[in-house]
Structure 1
Amino acid sequence: MAHDATHPSVRPHNPRFSSGPCAKRPGWSLAALEGAALGRSHRAKGPKAKLAEVIDRSRAILGLPAEWRLGIVPGSDTGAVEMAMWTLLGPRPVDVLAFESFGEGWAADVAKQLKLEHRVLSAPYGRLPDLGAVDWSRDVVFTWNGTTSGVRVPNGDWIAPDRQGLAICDATSAAFAMALPWDRLDVVTWSWQKVLGGEAAHGMLALSPRAVERLLSHKPAWPLPKVFRLVSGGKLIEGIFKGETINTPSMLCVEDALDGLRWAEAIGGLPALIARAEANLAAVARWIDATPNYTFLAEDPATRSCTSICLSITAPWFARLPAETQAEAAKAIASLLEKEGVALDAGGYRDAPPGLRLWGGATVETADIEAVLPWLDWAADTVAARFAIVPAAE
């Protein structure tokens, strides 16, 4: 199918498709931050209550079991995952699932920093490792949704209910957009900057009773930085899970997080958030069926992410380019979309195969997804001409 190079007639109302920090909720403005406790100590009664409110509202929306602890920690999702690994790992060998860049990073930390007995179950971008090969006598570290690959685990059925090890789940681009099986997980982490469109630098750490038991019974063989410490004098530092943060949080970001949580509640909570993200994925899937220019990077429909929607370029002209030129052409497409002001930050992740990535989380309107897709075809055809390849000649 050939396309002419005329501009599509409709533009997205909001062209922000970054996979983190992500688009703000519909209707957001700076007025949402007017109640922020600026210039106050985060340990004062009012600001501390706001921090506790973030925890309480998050618990309620996600359906976190009552016996789980949930705290705000420094360093975004990365800080939360590192805190979990450095404080919990050690008693057992470790399996790490690596099917995108962040899983690869956790595997490197287990191998090179913590130097633990481990296996890495890996898969190329677009696929999952063999989930049946996971050994649940070991601790297991994995991402639920690969932000840089657009691949997610389809469900929690592969996680043993009678596991001996801990299931440590990086859910940064899954929380608030996908159903998480809490009974199959022991540690879950995420950040404010993904599905609810919050500001960066703050992470969330959720711990099951099994994880807390490990914290209290295991003393790591390595020194722990202060920002990683969850235990003092042999007891859990309970204040962390009541709004007493380890380091100083931004109360401006706290107010923004509360705004996102209130919006989520107002539209119907977790079911509505999931439905919005899945509608965005469905809109892309309909377009994929009709365009020759792109396909999903995730090969199996059951594993396609509804938040970080990663696209491979399949235009015949693109396939004829040398590998280094393909990367250049993909960047040119993303640059053209940004220059036109229709899709900001839509380039694929630097370590992923050349392509594009659209954030489809709950703050993104499906109408904006539908509006941007013709622009992706237009950009592919326009860049083809720049490389002296005319799609109409296919």
Structure 2
Amino acid sequence: MPKILKPKTTPERPFFSSGPCAKRPGWRPDALSNALVGRSHRSAEGRERLKLAVTRTHELLRLPSGYEVAIVPGSDTGAFEMAMWNLLGQRGVDVLAWDVFGRNWLRDATSELKLADLRTFEAEPGYLPDLGQVDFSRDVLFTWNGTTTGVRVPDANWIASDRDGLVMCDATSALLAEEIDFRKIDVLTYSWQKVLGGEGAHGMLILSPRALERLETHRPPWPVPKLFRLWNADGVLRDVFEGVTLNTPSMLCVEDYLDALAWATEIGGLEATIARADANAALLYDWIERTDWIAPLAVDPQTRSHTSVAMRFVEPQLAAASESVRADVMRAMVQLLEAEAAAFDIAAYRGMPAGLRIWCGATVETQDIAALLPWLDWAYAEARAVIAAQK
């Protein structure tokens, strides 16, 4: 490959991890100065802060009337598994999986809950399964945006409005970056550390009136751990939708989430966060289109993520090499970029084809994507030269 000169300007914030994601622009530790540390989350003040997080979430997302929000343990994983453990078992289930996390939910449904009436729809990395085969008289589980493959559903038009089952959506890499019709979703989960760049370990569980009705009337046939249980002998724990948590939350993390919600509101709310992700993704995909050694992992342009953009190596000589050689190039690129503080944490997810994965969500600045692009070309040329010399 021709020699490419090392760029002179690095991104101001070279943080492109797909989780935890970049903090909001301008974030500093003193944003947490009002955190209710050393106090109980059960105190009046603690409950007020938690309730505020729930209320502002509802407002920012403009959730339909009757939808409820809860802060739960275990990040998005805990939130989605909590929904599965509490709500499934009443009727048959269709599970869609084209991403590592979708396959996690499939494994839970198969190996842990051991659902008897289960249909699965899977696809290889880069593709969606046939959405037209889904039966909405059944409960349906899917991931809106596959973080590890960069493959998303293009919209919610494939979801029936007159469904009988519940539609359960892992939206942690899509929320505030994709247009989501909440009326088509009965259970939606996400985590603070994705599109808003909050701190980890806390998940968000959003339930529609139909999901709340299921929670009121259905008790699953399997044991539900206390940390997941949304009911007791007296019925549904309604106060979890008022900010009361099932275990002890970090009030530092709560304050950080409130700070991120305030930032999203200040810049213009949902439309603004989606626009920022769209602009970042457009710039990156335009570069990919002009670059002959890389391509999106997502085959159909309509299904390409606007947050976690996953890429694979396509230069003919490298594409014809073994996966281990491509992985060597990936690792060399990552090491070079981190050594120059030009980009951190952009390797493809483990188990995916060797390549790159760059987060383009709302907390990333478009100018930092622009500054990153020449570094990618430089690092690829350098890595290819090093690997070729070793061979």
User: Is the Cα–Cα contact under 8 Å of residues 4 and 377 in structure 2 kept in the other structure?
Assistant: no
- Residues 366-381 of structure 1 aligned to structure 2 (within 5 Å): 366-381=366-381
Cα drift, residue 389 of structure 1: 6.9
For 1:16-55, what aligned pairs fall within 5 Å after superposition?
16-55=15-54
* CA–CA separation in structure 2 for the residues paired with 1:376 and 1:101: 26
Query: Are 1:207 and 2:207 an aligned pair?
Result: yes
Q: 1:317 to 1:380 in 2, by over 3 A?
A: farther
Per-residue deviation, 1:333 = 1.6
Residue in 2 aligned with 1:292?
A: 292
Question: Match of 1:154?
Answer: 154
- Indicate conservation of the 8 Å contact 2:146/2:173, yes or no: yes
Q: Which residue of 2 aligns with 1:222?
A: 222
Q: CA offsets, 1:300-321, max 9 Å, x none? A: 1111111101111122331132
**In 1: Cα distance, 2:311 partner to 2:389 partner:** 21
1:86-165 alignment runs, 5 A limit: 86-116=85-115, 117-165=117-165
CA contact (8 A) 1:3 1:378 kept: no
* Equivalent residue, structure 2, for 1:360: 360
Aligned to 1:318: 318
Structure 1 match to 2:259: 259
- The AA in structure 2 aligned to 1:194 is K
Query: What amino acid is aligned across from residue 253 of structure 1 in structure 2?
Result: C
- Shift in CA distance, 374/3, structure 1 to aligned 2, threshold 3 Å: farther
Compared CA separation, residues 317 and 337, structure 1 to 2 (3 A): farther
Task: Report deviation, 1:325.
Answer: 1.7
Measured against aligned partners, the alpha-carbon deviations of 1:333-384 in whole angstroms (never above 9, x if no partner) come to: 2222112211100001001111100011100000101111111111111111
Greater Cα offset, 367-376 or 231-240: 231-240
- Greater shift, 199-208 or 210-219, is seen at 210-219
Quick one: distance in 1 between partners of 2:361 and 2:376?
19
Distance in structure 2 (CA, Å) of the matches to 1:234 and 1:172: 32
- Corresponding letter in the other structure for 1:46: E
- 1:93-125 CA distances to partner (integer Å, 9 max, x unpaired)? 111111010001100110000010211101111
Alpha-carbon distance between aligned partners in 1 of 2:48 and 2:3, rounded to the nearest angstrom: 57
1:317–1:384 CA contact under 8 A, matched in 2: no
Letter in 2 for 1:249: P
In structure 1, how many angstroms separate the alpha carbons of the residues matched to 2:253 and 2:311? 31
1:160-309 pair list within 5 angstroms: 160-233=160-233, 235-309=235-309
Q: What TM-score do you get using the length of structure 1 for normalisation?
A: 0.97
Q: How far apart are the structure 1 equivalents of 2:356 and 2:338?
A: 12
Query: 2: distance between equivalents of 1:139 and 1:114?
Result: 14
Q: What's the counterpart of residue 8 of structure 1?
A: 7
1:175 Cα offset (Å): 1.1
Q: Distance in 1 between matches of 2:350 and 2:298?
A: 17
Distance 1:179 1:13 in 2: 29
Residue 234 of structure 1: how far off its partner (Å): 5.1
Provide the C-alpha distance between the structure 1 equivalents of 2:290 and 2:389, rounded to a whole number of angstroms. Answer: 21
Q: Following the alignment from structure 1 to structure 2, what is the Cα–Cα distance between the partners of residues 182 and 286?
A: 30
Deviation at 1:47, TM superposition (A): 1.4
Structure 1 residue 232: deviation in Å?
2.3
Letter matched to residue 358 of structure 1: I
* AA aligned opposite 1:59: H
Question: C-alpha offsets along residues 23-49 of structure 1, whole Å, 9 cap, x if unaligned?
Answer: 000100011000000000001111111
Native 8 Å contact 2:323 2:353 kept in 1: no
| Aligned residues between the structures | 389
- In 2, Cα distance between equivalents of 1:23 and 1:299: 27
For residues 142 and 346 of structure 2, the distance between their equivalents in structure 1, rounded to whole angstroms, comes to 25
How far residue 3 of structure 1 moved from its aligned partner, in angstroms, is: 4.0
C-alpha contact (below 8 Å) 2:328/2:387 kept by paired residues: no
- Secondary structure of the residue aligned to 1:356 is strand
Counterpart mapping for 1:75-86 below 5 A: 75-86=74-85
The whole-number CA distance in structure 2 between the counterparts of 1:79 and 1:383 is: 39
Does the 8 Å CA contact 1:216/1:234 hold for their aligned counterparts?
no
| Cα separation, 2, equivalents of 1:389 and 1:166 | 56
What residue identity is the alignment partner of 2:378?
A: W
Distance 1:356 1:120 in 2: 29
**Residue deviations 1:73-95, cap 9 Å, x none?**
00000000000000100011111
SS at the partner of 2:309? strand
The amino acid across from 1:246 in the alignment is L
> Secondary structure at the residue paired with 2:219?
coil
Q: Distance in 1 between matches of 2:234 and 2:160?
A: 29
Among the aligned pairs, what percent are the same residue? 54
Q: Tell me by how many angstroms 1:17 deviates.
A: 0.5
Shift of 1:228: 1.0
Per mean C-alpha deviation after superposition, the further-off stretch among 286-295 and 148-157 is: 286-295
Q: CA RMSD in A?
A: 1.3
Does 1:335 find its partner at 2:315? no
Deviation at 1:279, TM superposition (A): 0.3
Whether the 8 Å CA contact 2:47–2:244 is kept in 1: the answer is yes
Aligned partners of 1:320 and 1:347: how far apart in 2? 20
Partner Cα separation in structure 1 for residue 194 and residue 388 of structure 2? 39
Q: Distance in 2 between matches of 1:344 and 1:362?
A: 17
